Structure 1
Amino acid sequence: MPLYIRFVAVFIVIFHLIFLVESSESILIEFCNTLLSLCDMSGALPLTINSLKHKTGFNMATDGMTVYIACSQCHSIYPLETSQRVYTFKKFSQSAICNNNLFKVSTGNYSLPAMIYPFNSEVRLATKILQARFHVQDQFRMIQIWRECNYIIEKNQLTMQELANGIVVPCGYARITKKIADGFSFMKADEWKSWCVIYSPFVLKHVLPAKNLENWILFVDACRLLTKPSINDKEIDEAHSKLQLFCTRFQTLYGKSAVTPNMHLHLHLGECVHDFGPIYAFWLFSFKRYNGLLKNIETNQKGGFESTMMKRFLERTYIGSFIQSFVNHLPQFAIDFLHRISNSQDQLAALHPSSTASTFSLSDFVEYSLNPCHSALGCELLPPSVFPIKLDQRITMCKGHYECLLEFYRHAYGSHDLFGHYSNCESNQIFVNNRIEKMKRISLLGQEYSSGSYFRTYYLENNSEDKAAFPGRILYLFQHLITINETVITHTFAFVEWYSSYSLGSYQPMLNEGIELWNEPSSVLNYECIIPVHRLYSPIAIAKYRFTITSEFKRLVTPLPQKIEA
């Protein structure tokens, strides 16, 4: 098949899968065939989408799928070619035969199965993982109880919503823009998660009595620990103790009748984590999200929606590999175009790992963000999933920011004389140019950062070996190149502003709720405004707030767990 015809064929298959319904593919194929006929290449393409999939090899995505006839009552399955008309399965030896009809009543020689079961071994393996559910029912039950106690009333909900709208929630956490004011109606699971670990400690501060709030924070603290992507034995035991204390005090505060079975199940979460690893690895969020994706699949093909959903699922999963199979037959710009229209760019790193993938050390990278004594220069290897990085055009740094960058190099490399200013660099110095390439965003092991993102980073406290987390805001992300010993070295940095410590020192009025109090950001420019992206520990939720009308605005910081998605 000639190059251009191969490209057209692959494009039609992908375009049909992503954008078209079944009735439209014939029009597209006819158009392309007509276009090719004008170039004296009539009949170059098959006339049906199935033939085109077979010709391009895309049918391999669904070749492993088998369809069975299934019973809606006893769930037994039979091959499509079975001669049986009713189900003969017995659930137990003493049970009666199911005797459910295999086929719908039909006319003619064709009988339509009453129910089908599409099966694929890869999908079966993917869905065989144990799933855990975040206990959203208990959270909704708590709202109901607080309403019954008149702690939450309609007026409170409006105030709570106003406070919630002032919280800046990082990427990866659901925002609750109006559902609190609407009485927590139609909240999704990820919104309940955000409500629990981010919103509730802040907005309930002046709504619940002290004892009730203190008890709720036990549940919040346990959830913050258990929803971490990585967790140790000490944290598991701490979470279990908090849940146990929460359940005990809950019964005291609200009575035995308010206790639900799920509260008993909380006490088994520790065992589940010990047995299966972090809840983050086996909860239902990704499973439920896939249900949403499946629900949006067009199912107007012949043969039943079950088979259509299975086929579409397999085809969309396979599409990145399918495009890459033509990498030696199509030019790179065509491959990039096909990835772009199919939104399969994220699969590129997995399909073609970079040359640094084999030398990248996950433990070292995590150590840079966790241990301030493990210094990073900014040129260390980044996770392979970061690439390719989309960079803007090279620009010139402003004078003040350049001075910060130059001072950073001198401090990080431990030599003031080694690096020279671009305007008067001597021959024995390393030239530090003032040109940088900004990037809009970067994803570090599942944590998304961009201009304006809030984060925290660990540093050693003054005159101490104790480490402490300091919050800041990213003004922009950028890469900078310097040449050392004739080798061009790429550094990846964030230019940040830091929030200064609260003036009253250790006084933290919301520390029990897991919320830290900080002053407004400092305007001081120095080398500490430049940090390697390796040092970014985790995102934070932040809110601007003042305790009285006459007091100054402060920043309320809610630390969030670090993600490690290797």
Structure 2
Amino acid sequence: MVREPIDQGIPPEQPTVTTVADMELENEDEIISADNMLPAVEVEFENSNVNYTDQNGSMTNMDIDEDSVAAPNIEQPFLFMAVFLILFRVYFRITDKATSILIRFFNMLLVAFDHTYRFPTTPDTIKNHLNFDSLTNNLTYYAVCPKCHALYNRQSPIPSSCTAEQFPHHPLQYKRACCIQVSNPATGSPILVRAALIMVACDMPAARKTCGFTSPVSRRGCYKCDRTFIVDDDTKRVNFSGGYDVENYQWKSTNDVATHAVEWMTATTNKERVEIERNYGTRWSELHRLPYFDAVRFTIIDAMHNLLLGTPKKMFNDWIDDGDLTREDLRLMKQSAEGLVLPIDFDVISSDRIAAGLSGLKAAEWKSWVLIYSPFLLQNHLTARKFKHWMKLVDACRILLKPSMTFNEVDNAHSYLVDFCKEYETIYGSTKITPNIHAHCHIRECILDYGGVYSTWLFGFERYNGILGSIATNRKGTFERTFTKRFLEQTGASDYITTFIAPH
């Protein structure tokens, strides 16, 4: 499918000016101005009062004289101990208060062994002595306009109103604003870097918002085909059943999608836009400004969300709600799971979580459930028909979740998924079919375009989300500088050891 450039049909974005009154911050700050901008100070997660004494009357931060360690040079073996303290704090993500307790314990050991040296009682002081804070000292902080996300350096005078031009694209290419110029660090000469966006990988709701498609529960909820779903007369909800013969699907034309997106953008009333959404399932996305962008093929179906976090979780919950799995079944499954030994690279599921109905499992644990646990545990607890139907999804996942596969295996997995979807409607009813189940029929096309699921699924991003979520913050903003500092400390720790410690 070849995308024809449609630059001439895309209206130029008009520059907009946002007043100070419109630039509300998401929390306690109301406007972006130099007067009320938060200063760039160190964020403390716990009690940072130097005179603090706990309820047990333990040593306070002022019990030790820090004048004796004011010199930045720390001799061995105390240098090793200081580095251990800081790296322990970074790798295990413990709070400043917990680190201070560990420091006081070290100082008590030094007293017990008649050493005169004392460590500073705050992690920041030790980081300064070790020059570890050089990893985060050179950060540049910006104020962000909540309307257009323009950045303003806090060290420079901040305008009273946002002056950024939103989406500065002109229909004539030579008049478009230049991108950020990259320079060669050795010679200082400019380097022209050209990049192309060839894939958008998100969960289903985010993919639709990013690439300009309507909600997955709408009548035109599939962004891979032209199928129009019907609305059930009784429930007044969209029915996603039927139409599993995907070879007969009429695939959306990329040019049609872009054309309808431009129509949505240029519509003068909200009624016109709603009509376009209802008829074509398309909205405007800034990605349509890329003349090569194929919104249909470039927007993939993520296998992690589709095959692991979607259908297996829904089916297990339905089995419990419909009485197919009772509390006694879960108890027996728990006992059977305790004797299982999993292959390497598979996450173990706690037997207690199986007894609790597999609540709160991560995607990696759902992978273990689908491929390892479920064929063994469900066999004697589901009816033969439902178990045989479930195993078709398992057989498809056994093929699709491999690091590599042949074209014949891709076709076999597709056949398993199509049969699974058809029987799902027969066994559980048409009202149980979800947009996620319909999307199973389109996974093959994504694999043929981009290769196996290992090249596209979002496990790495989900792990990073987990790391960011585990960082303790003071909860004063949507994305705190704390995240940046902790991330730089963790990623730069090994370089720090090589640069600052090895020469000594």
Which category describes the TM-score, using the shorter chain as reference length?
Answer: 0.3 to 0.5
Greater helix content = 2
Superposition TM-score, scaled by structure 2 size:
0.48
Name which structure has the greater RCO, CA cutoff 8 Å, separation 6+. 2
Superposition TM-score, scaled by structure 1 size:
0.43
